[in-house]
């Protein structure tokens, strides 16, 4: 877009430079919380970071730390399973429960490593049609195994591969935290590979200063190249003329003319609100896209002192720990059932989280609190609006239940607490987290790859509206901080006759 000859980015409400709206002080000065994402995982293999294409790491101040002991799962009998970035150490941890499972896990991890180039080749670029992906994969034994995983459910895959409840619980917990899907959802099995064993190749990154450091580095990059970022305005409409995007109209009536193109983060379900002229067949399918099956409830808080954890000495107290209030896999799977019916089970909640002592983000001696629970958006008894009246009770229950593992997670130790229901998340980000869905859209096969969000919109362009491009977690590759802007830029450069490879080589 151009106003006064500049490249312009228009953003709503928040001053995000320096991580303002993404990493914020919510309760007390010195306690800096990530409002949404905390861990940046599938953006790490993206050439945006892997090759530092924009210089975010080398020139614009973005830094990551990569915790080593990645994830521990603690069950109600206080037994633990530790996933390390080191595959041998992880297999040792599994062998405590089952030698057979350790071997199956190693084989899966080695398969993951082997097919990684195939997976990554299509992830951060404009996707080809799903039918073509399947055709290509069908040509090799590894590809056929990938197709098999894609069509199955995570539950089928872990039941086939493993015998120990520990490893099954760990994998299903790790996947569902990312996909917000049911273990038996058919067509989501690829998540077993993408979100578990690939951690031995790419680690989670924690941005130094908080997640806001990523958009802050992007902002510095835009400004370095002469771009201007306009804050605290709300876009009302994408302006179009003769089947082409010509600019933006803001709610206070200001118009911004587009020189080359408009890139907008518009959820497929909101497309008709922002853009005129899109064919009804395209809009109809866009409206039928599916949100993730359930949502995340989150607590941010400040603690007087760090949490004491009932874990064996060898488990690092400051690592990522998942707490499971059962040690039985069948029970664990049943705990998802209330979510299918819009219900909250106060006795058997799927909860997690803990404390963080990240230098520079919390006063010395204190700790940040971050707790979550899987919850429905549309409550059976009262719908989404009911969330405002029950959220503090839900937050009390999460804390009370987790004292089983962390005895000083008490009101006495709490300096402040802010709870976010799915309704709050929708209020924060209503054009991305539609119906409070942090992933934008579900992870199911029918809206995956060249089908995400729909076949007609999957190449980031909008039929009948030239020079309008869509970005966001509801687009391929999806569902979190993945660096989706890269394939959007590839598509746009292609249309404008710009050599993308040359552009990022400079």
Ligand X SMILES: Cc1cc2nc3c(=O)[nH]c(=O)nc-3n(C[C@H](O)[C@H](O)[C@H](O)COP(=O)(O)OP(=O)(O)OC[C@H]3O[C@@H](n4cnc5c(N)ncnc54)[C@H](O)[C@@H]3O)c2cc1C
State which of residues 73, 176, 265, 397 lies at the interface with ligand X (CB under 6 A): 265
Closest separation between CB of residue 135 and ligand X, Å? 30
Q: Which positions from 319 through 348 interact with ligand X, judged by CB under 6 A?
A: none
Distance CA 14, CA 356 (A): 25
Site membership for ligand X, residue 475 (CB under 6 A): no
| DSSP state letter for 128 | P
Closest separation between CB of residue 97 and ligand X, Å? 28
129/430 with CB nearer ligand X: 430
Distance of CA 403 to the CA centre of its chain: 27
Site membership for ligand X, residue 296 (CB under 6 A): yes
Site membership for ligand X, residue 36 (CB under 6 A): yes
Closest separation between CB of residue 252 and ligand X, Å? 11
- What is the per-residue binding string for ligand X in 222-261, x denoting contact by CB under 6 A? ------------xx--------------------------
Spell out the residues 6+ positions from residue 295 whose beta carbon is closer than 8 angstroms to its own.
180, 374, 375, 376, 377, 422, 425, 435, 436, 437, 438
473/487 with CB nearer ligand X: 473
102/479 with CB nearer ligand X: 479
Spell out the residues 6+ positions from residue 344 whose beta carbon is closer than 8 angstroms to its own.
338, 375, 376, 379, 390, 394
- Helix/strand/coil for 498: coil
State which of residues 1, 263, 278, 425 lies at the interface with ligand X (CB under 6 A): 425
Nearest in space to 24 (alpha carbons), one of 232, 215, 240? 215
Site membership for ligand X, residue 454 (CB under 6 A): no
Q: What stretch of H or E contains 47?
A: helix 47-50
Residue 277 tokens read as 């002229």
Contact region for ligand X (CB under 6 A) — 36-44, 74-82, 131-139, 299-307?
A: 36-44
Closest separation between CB of residue 266 and ligand X, Å? 8
Distance CA 459, CA 219 (A): 25
Site membership for ligand X, residue 473 (CB under 6 A): yes
In angstroms, the Cα distances linking 498 to 231, 281, 438 are: 28, 31, 33
State which of residues 1, 3, 8, 21 lies at the interface with ligand X (CB under 6 A): 21
171/481 with CB nearer ligand X: 481
Site membership for ligand X, residue 13 (CB under 6 A): yes
Site membership for ligand X, residue 194 (CB under 6 A): no
Contact region for ligand X (CB under 6 A) — 163-171, 192-200, 309-317, 425-433?
A: 425-433
**Is the omega angle on the peptide bond into residue 453 within 30 degrees of 0, that is, cis?**
yes
122/438 with CB nearer ligand X: 438
Site membership for ligand X, residue 219 (CB under 6 A): no
384/480 with CB nearer ligand X: 480
Nearest in space to 312 (alpha carbons), one of 88, 31, 484, 96? 96
Closest separation between CB of residue 12 and ligand X, Å? 3
* Total chain residues near ligand X (CB under 6 A): 25
Site membership for ligand X, residue 23 (CB under 6 A): no
Site membership for ligand X, residue 39 (CB under 6 A): yes
Site membership for ligand X, residue 38 (CB under 6 A): yes
Site membership for ligand X, residue 199 (CB under 6 A): no
Site membership for ligand X, residue 431 (CB under 6 A): yes
Tokens 């002991």: give the residue: 69
Distance of CA 397 to the CA centre of its chain: 25
The tally of CA atoms less than 13 A away on the side-chain side of residue 426 is 15
Q: Which residues of 445-461 are buried (b: 16+ CB within 10 A; e: fewer)?
A: bebbbbbbbbbbbbbbb
Q: What stretch of H or E contains 154?
A: helix 154-161
37/188 with CB nearer ligand X: 37
Residue 299 tokens read as 């607590």
Q: Which residues bind ligand X (CB under 6 A)?
A: 10-14, 21, 36-40, 234-235, 265, 296, 298, 425, 429, 431-432, 438, 472-473, 480-481
């Amino acid at each position: 877009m151009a106003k006064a000859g500049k490249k312009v980015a228009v953003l709503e409400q928040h001053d995000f430079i320096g991580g303002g709206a993404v990493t914020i002080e919510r309760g007390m000065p010195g306690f800096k919380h990530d409002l949404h994402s905390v861990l940046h995982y599938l953006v790490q293999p993206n050439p945006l970071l892997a090759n530092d294409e924009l210089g975010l790491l080398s020139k614009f101040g973005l830094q990551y730390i990569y915790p080593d002991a990645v994830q521990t799962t603690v069950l109600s009998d206080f037994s633990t399973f530790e996933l390390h970035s080191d595959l041998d150490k992880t297999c040792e941890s599994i062998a405590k429960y089952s030698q057979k499972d350790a071997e199956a896990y190693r084989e899966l991890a080695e398969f993951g490593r082997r097919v990684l180039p195939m997976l990554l080749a299509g992830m951060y670029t404009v996707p080809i049609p799903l039918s073509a992906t399947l055709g290509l994969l069908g040509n090799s034994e590894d590809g056929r195994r990938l197709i098999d995983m894609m069509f199955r459910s995570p539950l089928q895959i872990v039941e086939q591969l493993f015998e120990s409840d520990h490893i099954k619980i760990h994998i299903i917990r790790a996947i569902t935290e990312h996909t917000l899907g049911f273990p038996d959802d058919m067509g989501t099995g690829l998540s077993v590979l993408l979100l578990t064993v690939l951690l031995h190749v790419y680690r989670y990154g924690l941005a130094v200063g908080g997640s806001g450091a990523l958009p802050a580095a992007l902002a510095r990059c835009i400004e370095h190249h002469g771009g201007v970022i306009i804050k605290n305005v709300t876009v009302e409409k994408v302006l179009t003329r003769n089947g082409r995007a010509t600019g933006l109209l803001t709610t206070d009536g200001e118009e911004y003319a587009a020189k080359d193109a408009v890139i907008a983060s518009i959820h497929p379900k909101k497309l008709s609100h922002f853009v005129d002229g899109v064919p009804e067949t395209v809009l109809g399918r866009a409206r039928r896209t599916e949100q993730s099956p359930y949502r995340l409830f989150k607590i941010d808080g400040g603690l007087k002192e760090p949490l004491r954890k009932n874990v064996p000495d060898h488990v690092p107290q400051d690592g990522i720990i998942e707490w499971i209030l059962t040690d039985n896999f069948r029970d664990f799977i049943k705990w998802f059932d209330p979510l299918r019916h819009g219900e909250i089970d106060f006795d058997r909640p799927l909860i997690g989280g803990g404390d963080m002592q990240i230098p520079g983000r919390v006063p010395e001696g204190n700790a940040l609190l971050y707790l979550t629970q899987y919850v429905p958006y549309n409550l059976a008894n009262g719908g989404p609006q009911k969330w405002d009246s029950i959220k503090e009770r839900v937050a009390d229950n999460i804390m009370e239940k987790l004292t089983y593992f962390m005895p000083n997670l008490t009101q006495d130790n709490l300096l402040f607490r802010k709870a976010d229901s799915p309704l709050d998340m929708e209020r924060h980000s209503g054009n991305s987290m539609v119906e409070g869905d942090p992933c934008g859209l579900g992870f199911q096969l029918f809206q995956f790859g060249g089908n995400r969000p729909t076949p007609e919109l999957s190449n980031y362009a909008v039929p009948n509206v030239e020079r309008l491009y869509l970005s966001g977690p509801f687009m391929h590759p999806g569902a979190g901080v993945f660096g989706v802007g890269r394939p959007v830029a590839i598509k746009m450069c292609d249309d404008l006759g710009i050599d993308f490879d040359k552009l990022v080589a400079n």
